[in-house]
Amino acid sequence: MLSTIPRKILRFIQYILVLLFIIFEELVWETFAKPIYEWVKELNILQQLQTKLVGVNRYIILILFVLLFVVEEIAGIFAGLLFVKGLILLGILVYMLRIPIVGFTFWLFHATESKLLSFEWFKWIYTLIVRFFDWVKSRDIYKKVIQIKASIKENIKIYKQRYLSGNGKIVSDLKKLYHILKSRFKEAQDQ
């Protein structure tokens, strides 16, 4: 019996970690941060900055990266505290303001990855994080949730095509209703 209790506790922790990862990846990253990151990395001024970063000392890049990372993490914690205090709208605002900083931080990492990974301790931490993400993605619960998500997306796509497209049933019914109401309104005006 004792061996099943630790196993259940570990499984529960695993579910929590996977759930948090899915919430972050699917809701925050895919919905908000990734589009901002894509937009940031396409900015012409950042492309020019990227060429200038080649000549910058790796310690300066590390300090800039760590400062940005700390600021965005503090903003995330602050947003969480605002949520806990019941200041939901302010918490959302702070969290949304954090997202461009996250996008820029991701851009800076990718633009200077070789310099940042030249620090052994940084490379070690980065490797641990990548392994953790790989571990989460290898869990059965993660795979099941991703399958459910794909199924939901497919069903939404089918629903939109079937009912909400220009030739869909709802749209055609609304058009018919509009024409009926229009003709009746015209008849009422003629009388």
State the pLDDT confidence band at 184, using cuts at 50, 70 and 90: confident
Residue 130, token pair as written in the block: 């990548």
Q: What integer is the mean pLDDT of 89-116?
A: 86
Domain boundaries, the chain: 4-119, 139-191
| pLDDT of amino acid 155 | 78
Largest CA distance in the chain: 87
Return phi, psi of residue 119, to 5°. Answer: -85, 120
Share of the chain above pLDDT 70, in %: 80
Contact 120, 132 (CB under 8 A): no
Q: What integer is the mean pLDDT of 13-35?
A: 68
| Residue ranges of E strands in 36-188 | none
- This prediction has a pTM of 0.62
